[in-house]
Amino acid sequence: MFFNSLSGRFLLLTIVFVMLAEVLIFVPSVSRFRMDYLQARLDSSQIATLALLAAPSEMVEPELEAELLRNADVLNVALQRNAIRELMLSSPMKAPIGQTFDLRDPPAWELVMDAMMTLWHDDDRVIRVIGEPVKEAGQLIEASLYEKPLRDAMLDYGKTIFNLSLFISVVTASMLFIAVRFFIVRPMSRLVQQIRGFSAAPEDARQIIQPQAGVIELHEAETALQSMQLQLSQSLKQKGRMAALGGAVSKISHDLRNILTTTQLLADRMELSDDPAVKKTAPKLVTSLSRAVNLCESTLRFGKAEETPPQLKSFSMKPLLVEVVEGEHLAIGEAEIDISLDVANGINVKADREQLYRIVSNIVRNARQVLTARKQSGKILVEGRETEDSWIISISDDGPGLPKKAMDNLFTAFEGGARKGGSGLGLAISAELVKGHGGLLELTSTGSDGSTFLITLPKETP
């Protein structure tokens, strides 16, 4: 419901408070209107007496007297001069005077009470008004008049004030509503959406809020939320690594024990024997030691590393892929492996350059190691392109394809190794880094004619 929202409640409260302010203005305004109304009748009555004073013997015809009273909108006029009160103009009255009001410097509260009493009475009683003549034309002037025309005029004035107050309230409330919607509600809605997005995908670094609110309090809230999201994201990644590491400790211990046992036996044989077979044993010893060292180092790196959120910047895709390909060429050695690159100039990708290099190099290195272990010639093709909404990097090889065990545990550390002796850490790390970019790393095809991995990075940010 609209009025259960922050915007709706703010709009409702704004209208109520503005109307309350207008009511507080309405009462003294009506009181002032009543006083001005009565004072105008006294002024008109004094002007009417001037015609009487200008006449010979201060007498006028009854018809002229009635017209003067009608123009002044009063029933009779009395003027006090030289301490003598004189009835200057008079006409028949339907009822005696019901109440007298003195306009000579009355207190504000009295004016308010008199105005409310005038609105309260609905009969047409006769009232008398006392005031001071202008230009010191006497000590005081009195006029009697019917109260109903005064009440009708006050009600008409009140309706005008009410309509004006309502218009001002609506305009003010609308302007405040728009301002609050723009400066407060919209940033808060964005904050809520960021929280929801991060809750749905805490591994996606794009969901970490970037403070940009103009309101100081909201900016501080966004900054605090960003700090919390960064810490939580790092904690989740670290816990995930530790969980994977803990599950693999027993397997690592078993494999490492076997490797070191073999190494120990070979080393003992080298020390105790001069047999020519040592020349054949030495490479096996080196291989066993290398496997043990590599396995230990990979495990420690995976368990202790803390990947920072990607720092997204725009850069050219081609130089990065050229760097990866050239680095792998140096590691080929004597193997007959051809690593080629197909990427157009002018493709700019927005990502973390260092992390994207690690992603691509891990996959290319895995393909090179598989082809090298096969001891046959092979080809690796790295392709880069872009679509309307994403950047795509494809790594293909003509190797033997992935074994079933590797496919069943793809991107799982210590389980998804594609070659004998492999730990699967390269793919696991690459998948995690791609996910941090909000992208996707997937195996699109694999078989006896080769495998293809696809890296997709989205262009749009949430």
Domain count, the chain: 3
pLDDT in tens, 376-407: 788 999 999 999 999 999 999 998 888 877 77
User: Do residues 381 and 396 lie in contact, with contact meaning Cβ atoms separated by under 8 Å?
Assistant: yes
Based on the domain organization, do 286 and 317 belong to the same domain? no
As a whole number, the mean pLDDT across the chain is: 79
Contacts of residue 310, Cβ cutoff 8 Å, sequence gap at least 6: 205, 351, 352, 355, 433, 436, 437
Residue range 428-433: average pLDDT?
Answer: 86
The tokens describing 148, both together, are 């109903």
Q: Which residue has the higher pLDDT, 141 or 241?
A: 141
pLDDT band of 416, cuts 50, 70, 90: very low
Least confident of 313-317, 404-408, 421-425: 421-425
Name the amino acid, one letter, at 387: T
CB 110: neighbour CB atoms within 10 A? 12
Given a cut of 70, whether residue 95 has pLDDT beyond it is yes
Could you tell me the residue range of the domain that residue 110 belongs to?
A: 2-170
319-326: long-range contacts at Cβ-Cβ below 8 A with a sequence spacing of 24 or more? 320/349, 320/353, 320/356, 320/357, 320/360, 321/360, 321/382, 321/384, 321/393, 323/357, 324/357, 324/360, 324/361, 324/364, 324/382, 325/364, 325/382
- 189 falls within a domain: no
pLDDT band of 12, cuts 50, 70, 90: confident
Based on the domain organization, do 140 and 288 belong to the same domain? no
pLDDT band of 254, cuts 50, 70, 90: very low
Based on the domain organization, do 146 and 48 belong to the same domain? yes
Report the C-alpha gap between 86 and 141 in whole angstroms.
10
Residue range 426-443: average pLDDT?
Answer: 88
Note the helical H segments in 91-138.
Answer: 108-120
Given a cut of 60, whether residue 261 has pLDDT beyond it is no
Report the C-alpha gap between 172 and 365 in whole angstroms.
67
Mark which of 120, 150, 170 sits at the end of a domain: 170
Name the amino acid, one letter, at 332: I
Mark which of 280, 308, 336 sits at the end of a domain: 308
Based on the domain organization, do 357 and 337 belong to the same domain? yes
Given a cut of 80, whether residue 238 has pLDDT beyond it is no
In this prediction, residue 260 carries a pLDDT of: 56
